[in-house]
Structure 1
Amino acid sequence: MKEPIRVLQIIGIVAGGGVEAVIMNYYEHIDRTKVQFDFIVHNDNKIDITPKVEALGGRVYKVTPYYKNPIAFMWDIYKVIKRHHYRIVHSNMNTLSAFSLFAAWAAGAPVRILHNHSTSSPGETKRNIMKFMLRPFARLFATHYFACSRLAGEWMYGRKMMDSGKVTIINNAIDLGKYAFNSHRRKILRKEMGLTDEFVIGHVGRFVFPKNHEFLIDVFAKAYKKNPHMVLLLIGDGPLRSAMEEKVKKLGLTDHVNFLGLRNDVQNLYNVMDIFVLPSHYEGLPVVGVEAQANGLPCLFSTKVTKETHLTHSTQFLDLSTGASKWAERIVSMKYERNEEVGEELRHAGFEINKEARNLANFYTKLSTGGT
């Protein structure tokens, strides 16, 4: 049999975030007899994807993290590409791809894909300085350009380049059946969690600045005063988690805010929720927003989330500048009504993973045969 095309996926940090979720979604659903993924990740990640990747036929290379030693990071990547003769390198590290794609260029990889999954926010001054410094170099060492949304594409490449057709949008597609609403599962899980008639506000995201947990907790505190039968579920982990737990404690809401940590059953937990809230400072196109809509949940997103995430009629947007009180009012006023007919809307929008994985496989195949 003909060997599959091997694509080196560079993701660096593995911490239960959206980027690795997107890449793993594609990996699980792509035809691996035609295209096989191998991965470069940091050697200090708390989550080890090696068993899952190896079970699917791939390899995982663990390298020095860029934040510890960027030179060693690039050298490690260079050695992997040289030793295994990778022709297609797909870097998912946003502007930090400047490091990985430079190493790929130096190692002679003819196809170097820059995939941008994010934007920026005025609230991260130091991080933004680094982003703006690295952005031109990330583009310089790439031969092909991906983005998860028009917004993310314009931020990385500029409007002119987006309009030229040189940038390919890779939708954050999911397995729609996996995330479809299940009323039976809802009853079982709510009972296990001690929930009866409570109104459950849900959020999935790492505890980092962009996800804006501090604002979300303020919103919940005000919403709870209006409706004391509310519960907030926070799924995820991250460096700001302990600070948010302390904030909840000071507000006297410990019994009404559940920190569920990293979970491998998020698709089931959406069934428990009555509304999904994402008050992010910035996003590319959040995969959790797609998942929540696939579950039929009413969703409230900040206007910093790209409007391309507006995939179903049950989704609303609200500016962060309106303040926590307005957000609380909107949540209280939003009617719980599960949209169980979302599958066709999401398929039409290009978020059905099987079809999108076939498109990506065709793209890689074309590149491997010298196409553009």
Structure 2
Amino acid sequence: MIRILHSVSNLDRGGIETMLMNYYRHIDRDKVQFDFVCNKLKPGAYDKEATDMGARIFHSPGLHPLHYPQYIRFFKQLVRQHPEYRVLEVHNGALGLYALNSAKRAGIPARIYHAHGQGLNLDYKIALKWVCKKMLRFNMTHHFTCGLKAGEYYFGKAVMERGDYVLVRNAIDVDRFVFNPDVRERLRGENGLEGKHVVGHVGRFMHQKNHVFLIEVFAQIARRDEKAVLVLLGDGELQEKIRNRAGMLGISDKVKMMGNVGNANEWYQAFDLFILPSHWEGLPVVGVEAQAAGLPCLFSSSITPEIGLTENAVFLDLESGADAWAEKATALLSARQERGNMRQAIVEKGYDIRVEAKKLENLYLEIYNSTLK
């Protein structure tokens, strides 16, 4: 058995971590095990499940600019204690340089950078992120990406044009998301949603996901449709700001913030429309899940068109404005039809986790064995 070390923020229910756990559940863990370096001290929702499956979880000093020397020392000590680590996979955006460079210094021969996005979140670290992004290519040995645009953003056109990358699809357990009318009826009943037109969104409350725009769009949907309700799954630093904005717009009674739930697969059944107006994405897992559930999906055109897996996917430019988005959303709600079983459509596009996990398992074994030569 080999062990793959993954660098993540923490094992919470974010898109990256959910993708990793999907793969972890379905690989042959007698052949490949996952371990995690978490760069936040906050416990994650997946911690217990991961450790129950055999994972080790380590906590780094964090990705603060002043912690870099400490981070290098941490990684060297980790590798001294665990010389079995020969493959590292990094999922931290531009700040993945911390783990890549530290692993390089510590002697880990295979250093995979996994591209998950096509933009940088604007915060006090933005200048550092730009510098780190430029240095990534000098510290990685393998290029993984969830989509073509994400790969081009982090690796450059030359890498993508010569095919020097691996497309690791954000695959899901499709059967968990296939439309189930019984689940829909139960969940809507439990949450007072009978007879409502439920607009759903799943995502962390952060700049990238564009909740500020989403709440403006929904305010206009609510003016057009008195039965409209917005359900938001997730948490994050901007949650209170969005809650306050809903109050200012007079729609607090129509907005349900459910937090970081463990049954998103059931919530998709209760939705009537899924909206994702992100400034950017790599290839969003939630977009795959929503389409697997047979939902009409309204995506920002900033998101890679690869996410259009079914005819239910509609794209709209953010520059069109909130009014145009509300008009399109209202039309999709009005035109909704009986939801069919989308399993085959998702599987045919290559997003079946059972198939993709076997491919990744073999790839890890190949990379690991190459480091022994």
State the TM-score, normalized to the length of structure 1.
Answer: 0.95
Specify the SS of the correspondent of 1:284: coil
Q: Which residue of the other structure, out of 208, 215, 218, is the alignment partner of 1:217?
A: 215
In 1, the alpha carbon distance for the partners of 2:142 and 2:110 equals 7
Determine if contact 2:295/2:339 at 8 Å carries over to the other structure: yes
The 1:321/1:61 distance shift into structure 2, 3 A limit, reads same
Specify the SS of the correspondent of 1:69: helix
Determine if contact 1:181/1:295 at 8 Å carries over to the other structure: yes
Determine if contact 1:179/1:291 at 8 Å carries over to the other structure: yes
Determine if contact 1:95/1:116 at 8 Å carries over to the other structure: no
How do residues 272-311 of structure 1 correspond to structure 2 at under 5 angstroms? 272-311=270-309
Determine if contact 2:171/2:352 at 8 Å carries over to the other structure: yes
In 2, the alpha carbon distance for the partners of 1:24 and 1:70 equals 28
How do residues 127-206 of structure 1 correspond to structure 2 at under 5 angstroms? 128-206=126-204
Q: How many residues align?
A: 368
In 2, the alpha carbon distance for the partners of 1:182 and 1:74 equals 49
How much does 1:269 deviate? 0.6
How much does 1:76 deviate? 1.5
Percent of pairs identical after alignment? 36
Specify the SS of the correspondent of 2:274: strand
Within the alignment, does 1:38 sit opposite 2:35 as a pair? Answer: yes
How much does 1:75 deviate? 2.2
Determine if contact 2:12/2:46 at 8 Å carries over to the other structure: no
How do residues 225-244 of structure 1 correspond to structure 2 at under 5 angstroms? 225-244=223-242
How much does 1:16 deviate? 2.4
How much does 1:348 deviate? 1.6
Consecutive unaligned residues of structure 1, counting only runs of 5 or more, are none
In 1, the alpha carbon distance for the partners of 2:187 and 2:105 equals 52
In 1, the alpha carbon distance for the partners of 2:257 and 2:338 equals 24
In 2, the alpha carbon distance for the partners of 1:108 and 1:277 equals 44
Aligned to 2:248: 250
Specify the SS of the correspondent of 2:221: helix
Aligned to 1:342: 342
In 2, the alpha carbon distance for the partners of 1:169 and 1:308 equals 12
Determine if contact 2:179/2:341 at 8 Å carries over to the other structure: no
How much does 1:73 deviate? 2.4
How much does 1:13 deviate? 3.6
In 2, the alpha carbon distance for the partners of 1:129 and 1:42 equals 19
How do residues 44-63 of structure 1 correspond to structure 2 at under 5 angstroms? 44-47=41-44, 49-63=46-60
How much does 1:51 deviate? 1.8
Aligned to 2:367: 367
Aligned to 1:21: 18
Within the alignment, does 1:314 sit opposite 2:318 as a pair? Answer: no
Within the alignment, does 1:101 sit opposite 2:100 as a pair? Answer: yes
In 2, the alpha carbon distance for the partners of 1:79 and 1:336 equals 57
Determine if contact 1:66/1:72 at 8 Å carries over to the other structure: no
State the TM-score, normalized to the length of structure 2.
Answer: 0.95
Specify the SS of the correspondent of 2:212: helix
How much does 1:126 deviate? 5.7
Specify the SS of the correspondent of 2:370: coil
How much does 1:74 deviate? 2.9
Consecutive unaligned residues of structure 2, counting only runs of 5 or more, are none
Runs of 4+ aligned residues of structure 1 deviating over 4 Å after TM superposition are 125-128
* Larger deviation, residues 125-134 vs 58-67: 125-134
